[in-house]
Amino acid sequence: MNNTDLTLMHELPMLTKAYQRKSRAAALKKLQATEEAQEREYMRRDMRTSVLATIDELHQYLQGNVTIEAATDAARELAHQLNHRW
């Protein structure tokens, strides 16, 4: 073996550790992006449910099944949720 081969053999563990650090960092970044996407999807579904419930409450008011106060409360609660989320 010549000196170049010895130098490369000595540097190989260092390169491997650097690669492992980069690989771990990339995996962590990907995991964080996935978690953020899941949180956004959860929030979207939750808000969709709230909007549909409010629409149903307003529809019930139009049919005469609930009072204007109940419909107003539902609309206010939805507006509060929307303001809180954004």
Other C-beta atoms within 10 Å of 74: how many? Answer: 20
Domains contained in the chain, number: 1
The answer to whether residue 14 scores a pLDDT higher than 90 is: no
Q: Binning pLDDT at 50, 70 and 90, where does residue 19 land?
A: confident
Q: Please say whether the beta carbons of 19 and 42 come within 8 A.
A: no
Joined tokens for residue 79? 């507006």
Q: What pLDDT shows up at residue 22? A: 85
Structural domain of 69: 3-85
In one-letter notation, the amino acid at residue 80 is H
Residues 28-72: tens digit of each pLDDT:
999 999 999 999 999 999 999 999 999 999 999 999 999 999 999
pTM: 0.64
